[in-house]
């Protein structure tokens, strides 16, 4: 998958660092390993590989994630 | 128990196998085989006990008037909530034929299994519950994957390693599990999750409807990772008491996941792939979906080819001019075909090797190359420069359009990105098609 990447700077994923409790569920559900847990908090490490599937948004227990996909 | 399985029928061989497994299995006595309290799966009537059946009846006690037993069901096990069908882990010729039908798009939109609870192997009240969609292709992949060869190096659980003293590198791991099939309208897990049919609500309802709490002692469900798009794990726990564990993406990794104590041992199991085979297997459906548009466009091309100086003046006689029209029609359809195959088959196959990130741009490259090549193999020697230009422009535009369409089939394109790509490339494609049309008509005079 590393050799297949789509357009850059378009993903609308936003992480509210303050709200994050570091439960790591986003790292589990993300099919593109967009997140990593660093110092007890989630960090977006690869925003451009985000495909806006919404798995992390749906499962985040504290609603710290947001995505507003286009109509593609 | 033996008595229940010993009724004479066509499935006798399989059933006696089942008895052997049953009697050798630990903890089976904990499952109540006698009472049919709970409902939806239960169709058995108390008055038709095996003793009342004619000994040489060709029907099993599981067959009911008005019902068909699915061909992938090997036998049934009786539980507190009724008879649960045990599915085969092997595909039959019929399954494979149906797979072809679905992959080619002929039967894809109505290829479902009945939602509800199934079993694979000989599960008991401690066995895992695997949740899946009711798309038959998905169901087939799951039931065959559960008895796949499990690489020994993926087993980190030491107790399992030591119990198997023979160090075979391809351990045959037979998983006994319950399979909870959700009603996703015959759509695969990921797409159903995205469209909201593989949802928290459907999962909670199905768990309750199947009385899952009476089938298993534990309170956990293993869900495919990709279903997370439609599920909120926290709410599932709140609404039905079962906690959601997200398993691997691929069904093939489930045995490893279960054997290793419901842990992902290889990070790749959480990473989606889109290799050559995975891309190519999607291409027939691209063509089938595009078929209607293809026929319509082909008809339009034939019509456009009527616009022809000769046909109006009939200077060479009507027969010659009609042949000319047909020739022009067929050659334009040939380029429609070249463009379609370039965009819907060749571009997806070569996806990572083509320059540019936009699929439409990749399609332009492939379409232009193959249209150019087609000019040489087609009977195009008699064509004017403008006609040749028109045809290659047309093939390229078609290819670009089909390639752009493929963004909807990949597992890595974001909707925001696709929107941006469409805004940019649809005008280009439309412009090229229009220019091609003008050139084509011009070339006829």
| A3-17, B43-57, B311-325, B341-355: least confidently modelled range | B43-57
Domain boundaries, chain B: 2-272, 278-443
Domain boundaries, chain A: 14-66
Interface contacts (A, B; CB < 8 Å): 110
The answer to whether B118 and B166 are in contact (CB under 8 A) is no
pLDDT band at B282 (very low <50, low <70, confident <90, very high): very high
CB of A72 less than 8 A from some CB of B: yes
Averaged pLDDT of chain B: 82
The whole-angstrom distance between A14's CA and the closest CA on chain B is 14
pLDDT band at B42 (very low <50, low <70, confident <90, very high): very low
Q: What percentage of residues in chain B have a pLDDT greater than 90? A: 62
Is the Cβ pair A12, B234 closer than 8 Å?
A: no
Residue ranges of E strands in B337-422? none
Q: Is B263 helix (H, G, I), strand (E, B) or coil?
A: coil
Q: Is the pLDDT of residue B377 over 90?
A: no
What's the fold here for domain A14-66? Alpha-Beta Plaits (3.30.70)
CB of A61 less than 8 A from some CB of B: yes
Is the Cβ pair A71, B417 closer than 8 Å?
A: no
Among the partner residues B230, B267, B271, nearest to A31 by beta-carbon distance: B271
Q: What are phi and psi of A40, to 5 degrees?
A: 75, 10
Among the partner residues B229, B234, B271, nearest to A61 by beta-carbon distance: B234
Q: How far apart are CA B361 and CA B219, in angstroms?
A: 50
What's the fold here for domain B2-272? Rossmann fold (3.40.50)
Q: Is the pLDDT of residue B48 over 60?
A: no
Q: Is the pLDDT of residue B401 over 90?
A: yes
- Only one residue has tokens 């599915």, namely B87
- pLDDT at position B315 is 65
Averaged pLDDT of chain A: 92
Q: How far apart are CA A62 and CA A60, in angstroms?
A: 6
- pLDDT at position A1 is 65
Q: Which two tokens stand for residue B184?
A: 């996703």
pLDDT band at B25 (very low <50, low <70, confident <90, very high): very low
Task: Please list every residue in chain B whose beta carbon sits closer than 8 Å to the beta carbon of residue A44.
Answer: none
Q: How far apart are CA B322 and CA B311, in angstroms?
A: 7
Among the partner residues B246, B410, B417, nearest to A10 by beta-carbon distance: B417
- Only one residue has tokens 């006994």, namely B176
- pLDDT at position B350 is 96
Among the partner residues B233, B352, B413, nearest to A51 by beta-carbon distance: B413
């Amino acid at each position: 998958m590393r050799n297949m990447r789509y357009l850059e700077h378009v993903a609308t994923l936003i992480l509210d660092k303050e709200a994050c409790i570091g439960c790591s569920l986003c790292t589990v559900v993300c099919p593109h390993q967009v997140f990593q847990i660093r110092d007890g908090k989630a960090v977006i490490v690869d925003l451009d590989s985000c495909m806006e599937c919404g798995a992390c948004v749906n499962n985040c227990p504290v609603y710290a994630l947001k995505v507003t996909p286009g109509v593609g | 128990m033996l008595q229940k399985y010993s009724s004479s029928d066509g499935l006798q061989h399989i059933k006696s196998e089942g008895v052997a497994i049953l009697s050798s299995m630990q903890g089976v006595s904990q499952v109540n085989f006698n009472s049919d309290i709970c409902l939806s799966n239960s169709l058995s009537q108390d008055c038709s006990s095996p003793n009342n059946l004619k000994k040489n009846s060709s029907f099993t006690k599981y067959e009911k008037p008005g019902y068909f037993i699915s061909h992938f069901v090997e036998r049934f096990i009786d539980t507190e909530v009724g008879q649960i069908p045990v599915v085969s882990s092997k595909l039959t010729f019929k399954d494979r034929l149906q797979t072809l039908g679905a992959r080619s798009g002929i039967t894809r939109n109505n290829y479902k299994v009945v939602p509800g609870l199934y079993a694979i192997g000989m599960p008991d009240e401690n066995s895992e519950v695997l949740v899946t969609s009711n798309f038959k292709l998905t169901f087939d992949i799951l039931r065959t994957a559960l008895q796949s060869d499990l690489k020994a190096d993926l087993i980190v659980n030491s107790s399992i390693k030591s119990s198997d003293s023979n160090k075979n590198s391809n351990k045959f791991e037979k998983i006994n599990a319950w399979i909870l099939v959700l009603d996703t309208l015959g759509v695969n897990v990921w797409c159903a999750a995205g469209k909201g049919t593989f949802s928290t609500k459907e999962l909670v309802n199905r768990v309750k409807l199947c009385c899952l709490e009476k089938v298993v002692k534990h309170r956990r469900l293993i869900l495919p990772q990709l279903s997370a798009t439609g599920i909120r794990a926290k709410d599932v726990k709140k609404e039905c008491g079962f906690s959601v564990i997200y398993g691997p993406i691929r069904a093939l990794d489930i045995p490893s996941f279960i054997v290793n104590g419901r842990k992902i041992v290889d990070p790749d199991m959480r990473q989606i792939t889109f290799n050559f085979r995975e891309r190519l297997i999607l291409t027939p459906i691209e063509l089938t979906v595009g078929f209607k548009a293809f026929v319509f466009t082909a008809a339009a091309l034939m019509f456009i080819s009527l616009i022809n100086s000769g046909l109006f003046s009939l200077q060479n006689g009507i027969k010659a001019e009609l042949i000319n029209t047909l020739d022009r029609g067929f050659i334009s359809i040939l380029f429609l075909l070249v463009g379609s195959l370039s965009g819907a088959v060749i571009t997806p196959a070569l996806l990572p090797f083509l320059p540019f990130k936009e699929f439409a741009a990749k399609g332009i490259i492939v379409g232009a190359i193959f249209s150019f090549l087609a000019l040489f193999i087609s009977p195009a020697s008699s064509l004017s420069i403008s006609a040749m230009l028109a045809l290659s422009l047309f093939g390229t535009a078609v290819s670009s359009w089909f390639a752009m369409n493929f963004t909807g089939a990949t597992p890595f394109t974001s909707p925001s990105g696709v929107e941006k790509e469409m805004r940019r490339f649809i005008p280009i494609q439309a412009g090229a098609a229009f220019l091609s049309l003008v050139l084509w008509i011009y070339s006829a005079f």
